[in-house]
Amino acid sequence: MIFFMINDMTDNSLKVKAPVYDVPAEGYDELYGVEQLEKYEAVFGELGEAVKELKVVLDIGCATGLLGEYLRSIGFDGVYVGVDLLKERLTAAKMKAGSSWMLIQADAEHLPLRDDCVDLAASVTVIHLLDVEKALEEALRASKKFTVVTVLKKRLDLEPEIMKYLISRRGLSVKKLSLPKIKDEILIVAGEF
């Protein structure tokens, strides 16, 4: 088995050093659904034909599973792995889950996954809540092909730290997308483009 599942955790069992993202699961889709969809379309549009080769996609900070729903809508038939710190959000995601979904309660800075076990790791509008270096290290460790990180444009002060870390990792290419209608800057990281 590729993944190690964390079961029966309470929300208090994981220590959070960053500010807590306190939007309740019940209103998440209504507040952020359209905005997140635009980001997903930009990312997967940019990946083009490479999307067809993806077998396992990791969604770090999955909230209610919007990325899983988007992947299903574009015909992705691989495994969607959603990771979130809060049980409430995972419970909401479980209500949408297909048979190929795996939902894990875990900390993005300590992913309970093996090295190179996913084809694409995505951290969409989450990095500003985390220790940037630890979160990037974990996403890159878990992914064997692509890592996608989006940064709120109002938090572009984090970009130098992110780029410094990515540049320090030899053999990585970074493609940056900054689209006017999207509130995040998108970084797509790969071994090669």
φ, ψ of residue 136 in degrees (nearest 5): -65, -45
| pLDDT at residue 23 in the model | 63
CA of 22: how far to CAs of 44, 79, 102, in Å?
28, 28, 23
Give the pLDDT mean for 82-86.
96
Residue 5 has pLDDT above 70, yes or no: no
Type of residue numbered 21: Y
| Cα atoms found within 13 Å of the Cα of residue 151, Cβ hemisphere only | 22
Separation of alpha carbons 169 and 182, rounded Å = 28
Q: What is the CATH number of domain 25-190?
A: 3.40.50.150
In 10 A of CB 35, how many CB atoms? 15
| pLDDT at residue 14 in the model | 40
How would residue 31 be classed by pLDDT, with cut points 50, 70 and 90?
Answer: confident
Q: What is the pTM of this model?
A: 0.87
Condensed to tens digits (0 to 9), the pLDDT of residues 122-163 reads 999 999 999 999 999 999 999 999 999 999 999 999 999 999
Would you say 63 and 72 are in contact if contact means Cβ atoms under 8 Å apart?
Answer: no
